[in-house]
Structure 1
Amino acid sequence: MATVADHDAYIAAAPEPFRPVLERLRAVLARALPDAEEIVAYDMPGFRVGSSVVASYAAFSRQCGLYVLPHAITAHAEEIAAAGLKATKTGITFSPRRPVPDDLVERLARTSQEGAGA
């Protein structure tokens, strides 16, 4: 995807099947992180609190990703696995047909923010 200036442009440029999932992620993250600033960093829309990007999301050719700080993935590893999702050190990739549950997105975002020292 081309470099974009804001969340709206990023979502609009994403493949059509991914747009509803990205819109939902944005809304859930905004609700979980009410004091965060919406930004675009590393060509991904994200949420910054203070100097830390505490959550971001992305669309790829076949999947989406939710990215948080490593301690949030570690703290919720069992929940991630129980949801049938795969995680890396800083993120979870998933298909639009099997997104990350909203309540887990919220917990990951809040844990990410808490550990960021923000």
Structure 2
Amino acid sequence: MTTITDHSAYITAAPEPFRPSLDRLRALLTRALPDATEIVAYNMPGFRIGDAVVASYAAFSKQCGLYLQPGAISEHAEEIAAAGLKATKTGITFTPRSPIPDDLVERLARASRKDAGV
């Protein structure tokens, strides 16, 4: 992918099979974080509240990732595992065939905001 300047450009440049998932993720994060500002940091679209990046996402060659504050991942670790998803300290990977459930995305975003203290 080339350097991007906004969320729409990022999604347009992403591999075609991932675009609907990224659009969905963007909409869910926008709804869960209504006062967040859309940003691009480290060539990834994200959502900032104050000085904290609360959530971001990315597309790779074979999967997508949702990146959050560490407390959000640990707080919902059982739900993430129950959904059959893989997580690291700050991220969850998924594919269009195994997306993150919508309600879990929204809970994760709110937990990430809380963990960031904003």
Instruction: Give the structure-2-normalised TM-score.
Output: 0.98
Mapped to 1, the partners of 2:3 and 2:69 lie a distance apart of 23
Sequence identity percentage: 76
Q: Which residue in the other structure is 1:58 paired with?
A: 58
Mapped to 2, the partners of 1:29 and 1:114 lie a distance apart of 14
Q: Which runs of 4+ in 1 moved over 3 A?
A: none
Q: Which residue in the other structure is 2:84 paired with?
A: 84
1:22 aligns with 2:22: yes
Deviation sequence 1:58-111 (CA, Å, 0-9, x none): 000000000000000000000000101010000000111111001000000000
Structure 2: give runs of 5+ residues left out of the alignment.
none
Mapped to 2, the partners of 1:2 and 1:28 lie a distance apart of 25
Q: Which residue in the other structure is 1:102 paired with?
A: 102
Mapped to 1, the partners of 2:31 and 2:47 lie a distance apart of 11
Mapped to 2, the partners of 1:98 and 1:83 lie a distance apart of 8
Q: Which amino acid aligns with 2:108?
A: L
Q: Which amino acid aligns with 1:95?
A: T
Q: Shift of residue 31 of structure 1?
A: 0.1
Q: How many residues align?
A: 118
Structure 1: give runs of 5+ residues left out of the alignment.
none
Give the secondary-structure state (helix, strand or coil) at the position aligned to 1:112. Answer: helix
Mapped to 1, the partners of 2:96 and 2:51 lie a distance apart of 30
Q: Which residue in the other structure is 1:46 paired with?
A: 46
Give the secondary-structure state (helix, strand or coil) at the position aligned to 2:4. Answer: coil
Q: Shift of residue 28 of structure 1?
A: 0.1
Q: Which residue in the other structure is 2:36 paired with?
A: 36
